[in-house]
Structures are given as C-alpha cells and as structure tokens.
Chains A and B, each alone.
Chain A
Amino acid sequence: MNLTLPFFLHQAACGAIAAAGFGVLFNVRFQMLPWCAASGALTLAVRTLCVGAGWNLESASFCSALTAGIAVQWLRTTRPDFSQNALDVVGCIPMVPGSLAAKAILGLYALMIGASHDAETLITAVQNTLRVAFIIGAIGTGLAIPTLLLRVRVTR
C-alpha cells in the first residue's frame, strides 16, 4: 500500500470520529470523548502504519489493539478514574470488521438461495468469514494481553 501523510491523517481522523461517535452511543461522558477520539485515532494510525508496512489486516489489528491496551493501562496508572472500556474498547470499535462480516453473510446467503453456484463466491464467503473471526480474535487478544499481564483495573 502506498502510505502518504494525507492518507495516514485521514485514517486517523476517521478513526477518531468513529470512536467518539460510538462513545456517545455508549453513553460516555462528554469530558471523556476527546480521550475516546484519541484512542480511535491511535488504533487506526497504528493499523494504517502496519498495513502500509505490508502486514495483513489481522496482524495489523492485533498490533493496534495491543498498542491501545498498553496505552490505556499506562494512562490509568496516572488517571485511575478513567474507564478502561471507554478507552480501549471504544478505540478499537472502528477496527471491528462489520463490513467484512456483512459481505461474508451476504456471500453465504447468495450461495444458499442459489443466486450463485460459483466456486469463487464460496471461497470469498469462507475467506471473509475466517477473516472476520481472526480479526475479532486479534482485537480481543490484543486488548486482553495488557489487562491480563498488568491487572491495573483490579486496583481501580
């Protein structure tokens, strides 16, 4: 991928807007929304850098979630009043592969109703399904590792 500064900034800004938007849906306080936006920007920035370096989306998502998890754990050592979920989970929401999941299920529907007897449709649907599973797994694992290692939230 051709990684340029405008593209990098665009991805980070979109990540920030998406995370802040979901922060509102999750009833995060207005004062916390800039932190949600920062978390979303961080995850998308890291993922964009990793994909730009030639990584696949699954590895990039894992690295990005891990970075967000570590950053939030570090932040909470100085600001224990910050909600962990509000920061790392909301920050990773823009990486949840909703579009890929929709495409995977639509591909399976197409096969089910006989709209396509194409082997390629089947392979694409299965590929998309596996990618969704692995990306969600990568995000969850990346977020869980810092928590499991540091357990800061127990002392909250």
Chain B
Amino acid sequence: MDAIETLIPENAGAAPALEPVAMVALDAGRMMMEAGASATGVKIIVERFALGLGAERVDLRIGYASLAITIGIGQAGITRMRKVGHLGVNQRLDQELWQLAKRISIRELTTEQTRAELDRLASKTPRHSALVMAVAAGLACAAFGRLLNVDWVGTGPVFLAATLGQFARRELIARQVNGYLCATLVAFLSSVTGGMGAHWAGSATITTAMVASILLLVPGVPAVNAQSDILEGHPTLGSARAVSVAMTLIFVAAGLWVGQMLMNHWQ
C-alpha cells in the first residue's frame, strides 16, 4: 500500500482546477493547427490562453497529429494531450483566435467563457460558399496558366477544369475520402477536362493547360510552414509537414500522369 500511495502525485488534488485551463488552451492550439498556423503561432496562442486563464508555467509539445501541454500553478501541475484533426487552412478562424487570445491575455474572460467562445468559433466561423470557392480556384489556376505561358484560348478550359476540380474536391472531402486519394482523383479529373477543353479550343499549349488545371491541389501553405517550422526550431513537425507535402505532390502527379496517358491515347 505504501508503494502505491507514493505513485499518487502530490498535486493530484489540484488537477480539477488546472484541467479546464489545460484543455481550453489545448483546444485553442488544436484549432490553430487545423487552421494552418505554423508551430510558432500555435505556441504563442496556447501560451496566451493558458497564462491568461491563470497558469503560471506552460510547456507545449507540438506534433503533427497531437499536442501535449504541461501547465502549472504554484506547486501543482498537470500534463494533458489532445489529438489534432485534418490540417487545412482557414485564415478567418486563425484571425479570430488571435483576437480571442488578445482578450484572454488582458484577463477579460474566464475559463468557462473562453470555452464557450471556442465552441462558437468552431461552429460559427463562416466560410465562403462552394460556388465562390470554385470560381476563385478557377480564376487562380487560369492566372497560373498565364504565368506558365498557356495561350489565351487555353486559359478558358483551365478555368473550367479547375472550377470543376474544386467542386469535386469539396464533395470528396465532405464524403471523407482519403486526402491523398482525393488529390489523385481531382488531378485526373481536372487535367483531363483541362486538356480536352484546350484541345477543342485549338490551344497550342495542351500539356501546360493540363498542368495548370491541377495547381489548386499544390499544398503551398504546408510547404511554407514546413520550412518555417524547421527554421524556428520545430524540426520534427517541419519534417512531418514536408513528407506530407511530398506525398501529396506524388499523388497529384499520379493523377496527372494517368490523365496525360489517357489524353495521348485519345489524341
């Protein structure tokens, strides 16, 4: 019995007071990760939340799929871990979290109020409509096409193919299709649509039009985050992001490759 009692931490009685602070801070960090923040951004937000809610010490470990935090007040301390979901990009949520952190750091909110605010942000932060996003993807890829020297008659098909690709991507994500498989399917669909459209339009740059049609799938933010994470002292997370970026590019290229084979056969 003595041996078992010594295993119970001295701070066990303080855990209920620290628990909500740790979980709220972790949830804020998780939301930042899922909104596409770099490791430094996540660290700053989690520290602001925890310190603003009364913690005196904060240590955070940032992994690709989980966050772990140790917070302390006086002699008491706890460690908790939280799973991180799909890493997307949501700048509006990112900004809202920075604003909330500012309010917390001046002790404007209690832990319960902060929890309610996080729940509100998670469910109420608006997104652009599917149509707006699809048209935006189309315009972006058409502009990319021009930067890659796609001729003007090939630009319209690129716009249509990327718009269609964005619609398909959104549908596949909503059906919880694996992200890499989704990249291959969308790359195939967009490249074939873009290639056929460019062929029918009489474009002289069909292959480039096919490539431009899939550029909505290039993981630009994770690629830049991977680099900045490594530079800012988070090589593990940065390496994991870089591997994920490389895998995405391989799957995107696979879709493009199959699309090009089909186009070659068809022509």
User: A residues bordering B, Cβ < 8 Å?
Assistant: 10-11, 13-15, 17-29, 32, 44, 81, 83, 85-86, 89-90, 92-94, 96, 98-99, 101-103, 105-106, 109, 136-137, 139-141, 143-144, 147-148, 153-154, 156
Q: Is the CB of A137 within 8 A of B227?
A: yes
- Known: A25-B216, A109-B254, A140-B226; 7 extra A-B contacts, CB below 8 A, are A14-B147, A17-B140, A18-B143, A22-B140, A27-B89, A92-B220, A136-B223
The verdict on A26 contacting B221 (CB below 8 Å), with A17-B143, A137-B227 known, is yes
Inter-chain CA distance A32–B140, complex, in Å, is 16
Q: Is the CB of A96 within 8 A of B218?
A: yes
How many interface residues does B have (CB within 8 Å)?
58
> In the complex, which of the residues B94, B133, B146, B256 contacts A102, with contact meaning CB atoms closer than 8 Å?
B256
Residues of the A chain whose Cβ atoms lie less than 8 Å from the Cβ of B138:
21
Inter-chain CA distance A86–B98, complex, in Å, is 13
Q: Is the CB of A103 within 8 A of B136?
A: no
Closest to A139 in B: B224
Q: Is the CB of A144 within 8 A of B260?
A: no
> Which applies to chain B's interface (DSSP): helix, strand, loop or mixed?
helix
A60 → B minimal CB distance (Å): 13
Interface 1/0 per residue, B98-121 and A, CB below 8 Å: 110010000000000000000000
Which of B66-74, B193-201, B245-253 forms contacts with chain A?
B245-253
Count chain A CB atoms within 10 A of each CB in B40, B133, B216, B227 and give the residue with the most.
B227
Identify the 3 closest CB pairs spanning chains A and B, nearest first.
Answer: A140-B227, A21-B140, A24-B136
Q: Is the CB of A106 within 8 A of B257?
A: yes
B183 → A minimal CB distance (Å): 12
Closest to B45 in A: A156
Q: Is the CB of A26 within 8 A of B215?
A: no
> In the complex, which of the residues A10, A24, A136 contacts B227, with contact meaning CB atoms closer than 8 Å?
A136
Residues of the B chain whose Cβ atoms lie less than 8 Å from the Cβ of A94:
143-144, 147
> In the complex, which of the residues B141, B212, B260 contacts A106, with contact meaning CB atoms closer than 8 Å?
B260
Inter-chain CA distance A139–B223, complex, in Å, is 10
Q: Is the CB of A27 within 8 A of B127?
A: yes
